[in-house]
């Protein structure tokens, strides 16, 4: 068994700390200072955001949800979203499976050479 106390981590602000990573998923802790954001982005995996401390706003598809410790949100693979810290916040991010379909880590060298073009096409 491996266990973590995300509330007791000494993390640098805005620097993700990978807690665990394997085929089943990846767990990441991040401290997000007040006023900063994980700007609008998408990931290849299903993503869960758990607020451990502080207050955040989550936005996806024009919908905004705000909350503090205990807020738990899920995003579909490829769903564009943004996370904004209303106060200093600590988040636990869970991505499954790791890496997801289309993630650069699963691409051939030929696919990687065209990755930016593919990303532009997906963004529309």
List the chain domain ranges.
Answer: 30-123
What pLDDT digit, counting tens, does each position of 50-105 carry? 999 999 999 999 999 999 999 999 999 989 999 999 999 999 999 988 665 665 66
Alpha-carbon gap, residue 99 to 110, rounded angstroms: 18
> Which range among 7-16, 35-44, 79-88 shows the weakest confidence by mean pLDDT?
7-16
Please tell me the CATH superfamily of domain 30-123, with its number: Jelly Rolls (2.60.120.10)
Alpha-carbon gap, residue 44 to 79, rounded angstroms: 9
Helix (H/G/I), strand (E/B), else coil: 88: coil
**Model pTM?**
0.75
> Which range among 6-15, 23-32, 81-90 shows the weakest confidence by mean pLDDT?
6-15
- Mean of per-residue pLDDT scores for the chain: 86
Helix (H/G/I), strand (E/B), else coil: 45: coil
């Amino acid at each position: 068994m491996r266990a973590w106390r995300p509330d007791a981590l000494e993390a640098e602000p805005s620097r993700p700390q990978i807690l665990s990573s394997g085929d089943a998923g990846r767990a990441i802790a991040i401290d997000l200072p007040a006023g900063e954001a994980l700007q609008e982005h998408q990931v290849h995996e299903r993503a869960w955001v758990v607020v451990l401390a502080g207050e955040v706003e989550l936005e996806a598809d024009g919908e905004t949800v705000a909350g503090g410790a205990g807020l738990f949100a899920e995003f579909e693979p490829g769903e564009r979203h943004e996370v904004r810290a209303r106060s200093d916040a600590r988040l636990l991010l869970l991505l499954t499976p790791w890496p997801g379909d289309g993630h650069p880590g699963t691409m051939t060298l030929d696919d990687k050479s065209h990755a930016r073009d593919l990303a532009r096409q997906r963004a529309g």
